[in-house]
Amino acid sequence: MPAASPDRADRIDYPHSAAFFAIHLACFAAFFTGVTMRAALLGIALYVLRIFAIGAGYHRYFAHRAFRTSRAFQFVLGFLAQTSAQRGVLWWASHHRRHHKHSDTELDVHSPILRSFLYAHVCWILVPRNEATDIENVRDLARFKELVWLDRHPHIAAAVLAFATWLIAGPPGLVVGFCWSTVAVWHATFSINSLGHLLGRRRYVTGDHSRNNWLLALITMGEGWHNNHHAYQASVRQGFRWWEYDFTYYILRALSWCRLVWDLHAPPQAVVNREQRLGRVVIDRAARQLALSFPINAIASQTLEALSRAPGWAEVKSRALSARLQAETFWSEFDLPQVPSLEEVRAYARARLAHTPSLDEIAVRARERLLELVYSRLVETAASGAAA
């Protein structure tokens, strides 16, 4: 069977996603059931409980192992997180680890930079190719049979909670207490994947578009300090500054006093103060982003115009089109003012990036990447001109 095209692979499986849309529609049943005080308070309590369970459980514990706990409380965190109906604990952790490994690159499962906002916000979770759990990515979790059981039965926890809300507050409890809070939890969580890479400030160079957003931090109990998190993923505290409220962290601190959790990992002071040098992967990603932000087509057009008047261009052009000339060799033969110098790239990097001791390395790599991109456009333009 031939492989599906990218467009077809990203189509929503509507029959399989029926429950997701049904819970959204069920919210309108409040016109018939009414909204009671008990149901409203129940909905607020369940929103807070499940946002905490997702942030502390799915995210900081299962995906990043930012603290330690007992096997029993680990199961409790997993069960509570799965009452949010965001699939299984292994599935969630596996996809999130993949997101960090490939953040805002072609292999990221939910980048609003490379795909649409809507796809990054919700559609990615509804397409068939993202349904599988990559067990190799969560071998540390898959050794626990109870977590594997939870992952294989991802809807049981949510179904138990839905039934409990009906018992507690009747039909309004099911509609308002469960459905309203479930939809609110979904979109609050999804907003970190979408808005968390589009709106806010970038204090740290992370090689992606993650941002700190105070409003998202408020509605997700601390998850909105997303740029902080991408700067040091193993931290249990995502609000690095004293004024960056992180209610999930505060609750985990309280639980540590009760010895339910322990070994809460804190970010090194060098990371918080932006004094630690960046790793090679982050430097390469940041350099790629910086290079792509230049007007490459305009630079290539101006360069080609200058080259057309240079002696020996015809012979160089012939070598380039026959793939006998590499970018490095080409730029060793030509030094053109149309292409930004290393000093200009450094100044450009200082103006666009947060402070980092690795800025010079980023600038050097960005210029190398920029030269590669411009050369590639030159060859494409020259080839199209020769074909014409």
Please give the average per-residue pLDDT across 267-288, as a whole number: 95
Domain that holds residue 300: 280-387
Residue scoring higher pLDDT (244 or 5) = 244
pLDDT value at 185 more than 90: yes
Question: Are 176 and 225 members of one domain?
Answer: yes
Q: Name the 3-class secondary structure at 37.
A: helix
Q: What is the mean pLDDT of residues 64-89?
A: 97
116 plus 184 within the same structural domain? yes
State residue 388's pLDDT score: 46
Mean per-residue pLDDT of the chain: 91
Same domain, 62 and 96: yes
DSSP E strands in 186-270: the ranges are 261-262
Residue after which a domain boundary falls, among 206, 238, 271 = 271
Residue 1 confidence class, pLDDT cut points 50, 70, 90? very low
125 has a pLDDT exceeding 60: yes
Is residue 187 pLDDT above 50, yes or no?
yes
Mean pLDDT for the stretch of residues 136-146: 96
Clarify whether residues 287 and 256 are in a common domain.
Answer: no
Q: Is the residue at 265 inside a domain?
A: yes
Positive or negative, the CA dihedral 227, 228, 234, 238 is negative
Among 246, 271, 296, residue at a domain's last position: 271
Backbone dihedral angles phi then psi of residue 278, each to the nearest 5 degrees: -80, 155
Q: What distance lies between CA 238 and its chain's CA centroid? A: 15
Distance (Å, rounded) from C-alpha 284 to C-alpha 316? 30
What is d(CA 268, CA 346) in angstroms, rounded to the nearest whole number?
Answer: 27
Q: Among residues 222, 245, 271, which one ends one of the domains?
A: 271
Q: Which residues contact 141 (CB under 8 A, 6 or more apart)?
A: 62, 89, 90, 93, 147
pLDDT tens-digit readout, 327-361? 667 766 666 777 888 999 999 999 999 999 999 99
Residues 55 and 193 grouped into a single domain: yes
User: Is pLDDT of 180 > 70?
Assistant: yes
Taking residues 86-93, report their average pLDDT.
96
CA dihedral (62, 67, 70, 76) in degrees, to 10, reads -50
Confidence band (pLDDT; 50, 70, 90) for 378?
confident
Residue pair 333/255 in contact by the 8 Å Cβ criterion: no
Residue 72: inside a domain, yes or no?
yes
Looking at the fold, whether 225 and 321 belong to one and the same domain comes out as no
pLDDT single digits (tens) 293-325: 999 888 888 887 777 776 666 776 676 666 656
In tens, the pLDDT along 2-56 reads 334 445 667 888 888 899 999 999 999 999 999 999 999 999 999 999 999 999 9
Taking the whole predicted model, whether its pTM rises above 0.85 is answered as yes
- Whether residue 372 lies inside any domain: the answer is yes
199 and 66: one domain? yes
Identify each DSSP E strand in 52-116 by its residue range: 68-69
366 and 264: one domain?
no
| Residues 277-287 pLDDT 10s | 999 999 999 99
Q: Are residues 258 and 304 in the same domain?
A: no
Question: Domain total for the chain?
Answer: 2
Q: Is residue 1 part of a domain?
A: no
| Claim to verify: residue 16 and residue 153 sit in the same structural domain | yes
Asked if residue 74 and residue 217 are part of one domain, the reply reads yes
pLDDT of 252 higher than 50: yes
Least confident of 83-87, 112-116, 247-251, 267-271: 112-116
Average pLDDT over residues 374-384: 76
Do 290 and 226 share a structural domain? Answer: no
CB-based burial label for 251 (10 Å; 0-12, 13-18, 19+): middle
Query: Would 327 be classed as within a structural domain?
Result: yes
In 3D, which of 335, 331, 361, 336 has the Cα closest to residue 349? 361
